[in-house]
């Protein structure tokens, strides 16, 4: 199969086989311990789009590049949707369920019904169209890369807003991931309703906060 520019090979080949339009689906925040997991679905036209020439896996882009691509994707997409699954749902159902159900919801919310769906490696039951999980899809396939940018940027914006509501945790910087600074903040301030309490690192840090709240000398004695 001849490779096409702008990572369009899969989409164009599927469309020529009568399986277009093709939707790409990806997530952001699966590995975080605070904030939502965000899933996006995106259908792009088959043609080359000059303003998306730098589009690739969102993790390989700078924040500035992602912010520039975000409105360009929204402008040129034939359809896109973004779904946020909150921490309470993640704690109740588990991250895998949140991810998979979020992908189904994101595809269902597209204004155009896709005839084929491409995911970034994740197997998803319950789609209303055939699908293919592609390892490294967010790097190799344009519509998945677009979904990854939509998910990442929209989630980052939420985390920046949450930093204002929950100061002291550094949410705008680490975006809810389990960094040393974030863990220390939970130990000092306690977990909040935006933290995923089912995650062992959050539960452990919060239990330490509870202990020191009752007996502050505990920590002092360990130093």
Which residue numbers belong to the known binding site for a divalent metal cation? 26-27, 120
| Binding residue positions | 26-27, 120
Helix (H) or strand (E) holding 108: helix 95-108
Residue 112 CA to its chain's centroid (Å): 22
Structure tokens at 194: 């935006």
Q: What is the 3-state secondary structure (H, E, C) of 156-208?
A: HHHHHHHHHHCCCCCHHHHCCCCCHHHHHHHHHHCCCCCECCCCHHHHHHHHH
Question: Could you give the CA distance from residue 53 to residue 142 in angstroms, rounded to a whole number?
Answer: 10
């Amino acid at each position: 199969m001849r490779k096409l520019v702008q990572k369009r090979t899969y989409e164009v080949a599927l469309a020529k086989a009568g399986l277009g339009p093709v939707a790409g689906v990806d997530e952001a925040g699966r590995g975080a311990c605070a904030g939502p997991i965000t899933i996006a679905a995106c259908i792009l036209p088959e043609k080359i789009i000059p303003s998306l020439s730098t589009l690739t896996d969102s993790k390989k882009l700078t924040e500035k590049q992602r912010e520039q691509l975000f409105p360009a994707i929204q402008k040129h997409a034939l359809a896109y949707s973004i779904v946020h699954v909150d921490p309470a749902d993640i704690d109740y159902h588990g991250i895998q369920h949140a991810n998979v159900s979020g992908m189904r919801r994101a595809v269902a919310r597209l204004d155009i019904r896709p005839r084929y769906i491409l995911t970034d490696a994740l197997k998803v039951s319950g789609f209303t169209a055939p699908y293919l999980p592609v390892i490294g899809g967010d790097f190799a396939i344009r519509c998945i890369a677009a979904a990854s940018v939509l998910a990442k940027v929209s989630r980052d914006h939420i985390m920046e807003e949450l930093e204002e509501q929950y100061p002291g945790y550094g949410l705008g910087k680490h975006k809810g991931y389990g960094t040393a600074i974030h863990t220390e903040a939970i130990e000092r301030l306690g977990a909040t309703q935006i933290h995923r309490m089912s995650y062992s690192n959050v539960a452990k840090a919060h239990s330490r906060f509870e202990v020191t709240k009752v007996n502050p000398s505990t920590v002092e004695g360990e130093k």
